[in-house]
Amino acid sequence: MAKKPSVKYWLVKSEPHVFSIDDLAQAPDQTTHWDGVRNYQARNMMRDEMQLGDVVLYYHSNTDEPAIVGVATVVQTGYPDFTAWDKQDPHYDPKAPIDKPRWYMVDIKFVKKFAQPLTLAFLRTVSTLESMVLLRKGSRLSVQPVTAQEYAVIVKLAK
């Protein structure tokens, strides 16, 4: 019998005025490439660890009410982020070699939007989530791992 690959859980941040969960829901095929990540830790996770079917929590940052607002899923594993080579792109990286991709991205697809967003302020009150990467002081990673336990708690709170 084939071993069932275990699903991993992640959280991605997006500024809603740039690309919100509603934008994702309205995108063609409700899918987008998660371009523009220019941080090595985040890149490594997208390039090396995110697998098809992995579950992604969608977080709105830099807004009046920072919150986890819904769920997406990985529909394409890591591949070169071509926007790094595009001079017109805000995330253009002049040091990214043409023949050797420096930055990677995955494709994610909309799954659902929470009826009630789980605000950062609220999440901080949940004792079972206190070690979540998102809630750690100074945590700025735009792609973060989430444990299965944390995910279970969040889904329960969001319904």
* Chain positions contacting DNA, by CB under 7 A: 13, 15, 38-41, 61-63, 66, 95, 120-121, 137-142
* Choice between 29 and 64, CB closer to DNA: 64
Alpha-carbon distances, residue 78 vs 85, 103, 116, 155 (angstroms): 17, 10, 31, 26
Return the CA Rg of the chain: 16
Minimum Å gap between C-beta 18 and DNA is: 10
Place of tokens 């999440």: 123
Minimum Å gap between C-beta 17 and DNA is: 12
* Choice between 22 and 140, CB closer to DNA: 140
Nearest of 144, 110, 117 to residue 22 by alpha carbon: 110
CB 29 within 8 A of CB 110: no
Minimum Å gap between C-beta 98 and DNA is: 17
* Choice between 7 and 122, CB closer to DNA: 122
Minimum Å gap between C-beta 45 and DNA is: 13
